[in-house]
Amino acid sequence: MESTSKITTHERAQWSSDWQFILTCIGYAVGLGNLWRFPSLAYEHGGGAFLIPYLICSFIVGLPLLHLEMSLGQFSQSGTAVVYGRIRPLFHGIGWSMSAMSLIVSVYYNVILAWVLIYLWTIITGRSGEWVSCRNDYNTIYCQSTVEDSLCIEEFAQKSHNVLAFYFNKSCHSANDTLTKNLKTETFNKLSAVSPAEEFFENYVLEKTLKLDQFGGINLKVALALAIAWTLTGLVLVKGVKMMGKISYFTATIPYVIIVILFIRGITLDGASIGLDYYIFHPDFSVILDPVTWRAAATQVCYSLSVGFGGILSLSSYNPRTHNCYRDAFIITMADGFMSIFGGTAVFSVLGFMSKQLNAKIQTVVQSGTGLAFIAYPEAMSRMPLPWLWSFLFFLMLFILGISSQFGLAEVMITAIYDQFPAVRPYRGWLAVGVCGSLFLVGLIMCTRSGIFFFNIFNDYSASFSLLLMVILEIILIIYIYGLPNFLDDLRSMFGYPRTWLGKVFGPTGYYIQGIWCFLAPLQITVIFK
- Residue 106 scores a pLDDT above 80: yes
- Residue 131 scores a pLDDT above 90: no
Does any domain span residue 456?
yes
**Residues 274 and 159 reside in one and the same domain:** no
Does any domain span residue 235?
yes
Banded model confidence at residue 184, pLDDT cuts 50, 70, 90: low
- Residue 410 scores a pLDDT above 80: yes
Rounded distance between C-alpha atoms, residue 213 and residue 310, angstroms: 34
Q: Percent of the chain beyond pLDDT 90?
A: 48
Strand partners, 172: 167
Does any domain span residue 201?
no
- Residue 133 scores a pLDDT above 60: yes
Does any domain span residue 516?
yes
**Residues 178 and 264 reside in one and the same domain:** no
The radius of gyration of the chain from alpha carbons, rounded to an integer in Å, stands at: 25
Which DSSP string do the residues of 190-257 spell out, in sequence order?
A: HS--B-HHHHIIIIIIS---SSTT---SB-HHHHHHHHHHHHHHHHHHHTTHHHHHHHHHHHTTHHHH
Final residue of a domain: which of 193, 208, 234?
193
**Residues 309 and 458 reside in one and the same domain:** yes
- Do 74 and 18 meet the contact criterion of CB atoms below 8 Å apart? no
**Residues 405 and 303 reside in one and the same domain:** yes
CA-to-CA separations, 268 to 120, 273, 346, 353, 396, in angstroms, rounded: 25, 9, 10, 10, 22
**Residues 156 and 258 reside in one and the same domain:** no
**Residues 183 and 55 reside in one and the same domain:** no
pLDDT, residue 163, reads 58
| Cβ count near 508 (within 10 Å) | 21
**Residues 347 and 382 reside in one and the same domain:** yes
CATH code for the domain of 30? 1.10.4160
Total domain count for the chain? 2
- Residue 4 scores a pLDDT above 60: no
Range of the domain at 175: 141-193
pLDDT 10s digits, 452-500: 999 999 888 887 778 888 888 999 999 999 999 999 999 999 999 988 9
pLDDT, residue 175, reads 61
pLDDT, residue 8, reads 41
**Residues 401 and 273 reside in one and the same domain:** yes
pLDDT, residue 165, reads 64
pLDDT 10s digits, 43-78: 888 888 899 999 998 988 899 999 999 999 999 999
pLDDT 10s digits, 220-272: 999 999 999 999 999 999 988 989 999 999 999 999 999 999 999 999 999 89
Rounded distance between C-alpha atoms, residue 13 and residue 85, angstroms: 22
pLDDT, residue 280, reads 77
Residues placed in the known binding site for Na(+): 27, 29-30, 34, 304, 401, 405
**Residues 61 and 167 reside in one and the same domain:** no
**Residues 456 and 343 reside in one and the same domain:** yes
Average pLDDT over residues 492-518: 91
**Residues 499 and 522 reside in one and the same domain:** yes
Averaged confidence pLDDT in the chain: 86
**Residues 24 and 163 reside in one and the same domain:** no
Average pLDDT over residues 506-520: 90
Does any domain span residue 306?
yes
pLDDT, residue 160, reads 61
pLDDT, residue 2, reads 53
Rounded distance between C-alpha atoms, residue 425 and residue 427, angstroms: 5
Per-residue burial over 428-439, b = 16 or more CB atoms within 10 Å of its CB, e = otherwise: beebbbebbeeb
- Residue 5 scores a pLDDT above 80: no
Q: Give ∠ CA 521-63-1 in degrees, rounded to 5.
A: 75
Does any domain span residue 419?
yes
Q: Helix, strand or coil for residue 320?
A: coil
In total, the chain counts a number of residues equal to 530
Residue 212 phi, psi dihedral angles, 5° rounding: -60, -40
DSSP element (H, E) containing 440: helix 428-443
CA-to-CA separations, 70 to 55, 92, 348, 355, 486, in angstroms, rounded: 21, 18, 34, 43, 16
- Do 53 and 297 meet the contact criterion of CB atoms below 8 Å apart? yes
Does any domain span residue 210?
no
Average pLDDT over residues 176-202: 67
Average pLDDT over residues 141-164: 67
Residues placed in the known binding site: 27, 29-30, 34, 304, 401, 405
The lowest-confidence range among 186-190, 400-404, 504-508 is 186-190
CA contacts within 13 A on the Cβ side of 357: 21
- Residue 190 scores a pLDDT above 60: no
Does any domain span residue 165?
yes
Strand partners, 174: 165
